[in-house]
Amino acid sequence: MTPKIARFLAEQQPATPCLVLDVDRVEEKFRALQSALPLARIYYAVKANPARPVLERLVRLSSFFDAASWEEVAACLEAGARPEAISFGNTIKKVSAIRRAHAQGVSLFAFDSAEELEKLAQNAPGARVYCRLLVENEGADWPLSRKFGTTIENARTLMLRAGEMGLDPYGLSFHVGSQQTSTRAYELAIGKAAMLFTDLTEAGVNLRMMNLGGGFPTRYRDDVPEIDMFGNAIMGAMVAHFGNNLPEMLIEPGRFVVGDAGLVSAEVVLVSRKDPADPVRWVYLDIGRFGGLAETEGEAIKYRIATPHDGTPMGPVAIAGPTCDGADILYEKSNYRLPLKLACGDRVELLSTGAYVTTYASQRFNGFAPLQEHYL
Ligand SMILES: *Cc1c(COP(=O)(O)O)cnc(C)c1O
């Protein structure tokens, strides 16, 4: 928790549940990433937290942006981003969204299929395009599965075709999965993409760019490698494969930039036991899976939880949200422990929840209002 957030919570006692985010911390994380990978251009993945104060601060820092929809493109433009600084990185785009973004001056688009490439040729003629490769997501706590990316063979065919279709075959991309805790995942993906890059260059395609995606982790309950370790691994792999002839490098961090900058302040609604003899207490909070904590699905992301009784004796708990849905359980199998003193009415903080929380909050399920947001 940053001093600014601590002061805000103490002085304002904002209604719970709410997200409180320190925008200075966003700037610190952005700068840390810049110094870990000084040769890479940073395209902030807007979906992680599209709040206006976050986007405006990043515009001031001359960040670039990775947008996934027309609405995200518009949010970047409204926050002051130049259209040339926006990449339309979703490989699944509505035709109307492509047309609107292109008309506004966005000129960089992702694809991973012949069908999407055709849409781009028709609706964004002349645009720079990059092909997303399917890579392993091993080591990622929030993998992106096989939904995105294509094979090396298909990517080769499509990149050769792009030029003939009036598009500019600009580069290749991949995403190693979100909350990626292994630097090796980047090394392997770079190796795979670099082979195709060299092959296409030899075939006469004027490729200039490698987009290494996002995935850089936030520290939740478990430690993760420092960002410099990722920087070193990535630069080592890039130099090993490209030598002095490095292409432009792009990265698309989301979680790393905003995750650590925010916390959710919540209230304990009930602490109970299924049976008086049961050692496990059930702790129900006023926020759960549907209030924005979607990444607790499968107990994938394990947030740290601070309470007013930290440092006193603890016992095992299951932690759940306030709705009437049986899926609204945050943690039952992950061996969470909380103070025995914890009681109804206590305020608790879910730490490092600045990414992928506000955007996942549902609309009034069981009547609960969407998560309130405070940007400091
Ligand atoms: C979600 C996403 C990102 C951001 O991923 P993080 O794990 O939050 O860094 C980057 N690029 C693409 C294409 C994405 O879909």
Q: Using one digit for the tens of pLDDT, what is the confidence trace for 88-134?
A: 999 999 999 999 999 999 999 999 999 999 999 999 999 999 999 99
Residues forming beta bridges with residue 214, ordered by sequence position:
none
Atom of ligand 1 nearest to the CA of 254: 8
The answer, as to whether pTM is greater than 0.85, is yes
Domain final position from 237, 253, 269: 253
Q: How far is CA 253 from CA 40, 52, 163, 337, in A?
A: 11, 17, 29, 31
Mutate to test the pocket of ligand 1, among 30, 42, 44, 47 (most ligand atoms within 8 A of CB): 47
Distance 309 CA to ligand 1 centre (A): 36
- Residues touching ligand 1 (Cβ under 6 Å) are 45, 47-48, 66, 89, 175, 178, 213-216, 252-256
Q: What is the mean pLDDT of residues 173-186?
A: 96
pLDDT tens, 36-81? 999 999 999 999 999 999 999 999 999 999 999 999 999 999 999 9
Same domain, 171 and 61: yes
Same domain, 211 and 139: yes
pLDDT tens, 132-173? 999 988 888 888 778 899 999 999 999 999 999 999 999 999
Same domain, 208 and 298: no
Same domain, 286 and 307: yes
Distance 200 CA to ligand 1 centre (A): 26
Same domain, 82 and 170: yes
Distance 346 CA to ligand 1 centre (A): 35
Is 29 buried (19+), middle (13-18) or exposed (0-12) by CB count in 10 A? buried
Residue 3 inside a domain? The answer is no
Same domain, 214 and 264: no
Atom of ligand 1 nearest to the CA of 142: 7
Q: What is the mean pLDDT of residues 352-376?
A: 96
Same domain, 312 and 203: no
* pLDDT of 138: 86
Residue 242 inside a domain? The answer is yes
With beta carbons less than 8 A apart as the criterion, state whether 60 and 44 touch: no
* pLDDT of 146: 81
Mutate to test the pocket of ligand 1, among 252, 301, 357 (most ligand atoms within 8 A of CB): 252
Domain final position from 253, 283, 301: 253
Same domain, 232 and 310: no
CATH of the domain at 225: 3.20.20.10
Domain final position from 223, 253, 283: 253
Domain that holds residue 277: 260-375
pLDDT tens, 27-36? 999 999 999 9
* pLDDT of 38: 98
Same domain, 201 and 304: no
Residues forming beta bridges with residue 251, ordered by sequence position:
42
Residue 14 inside a domain? The answer is no
pLDDT tier at 240, thresholds 50, 70, 90: very high
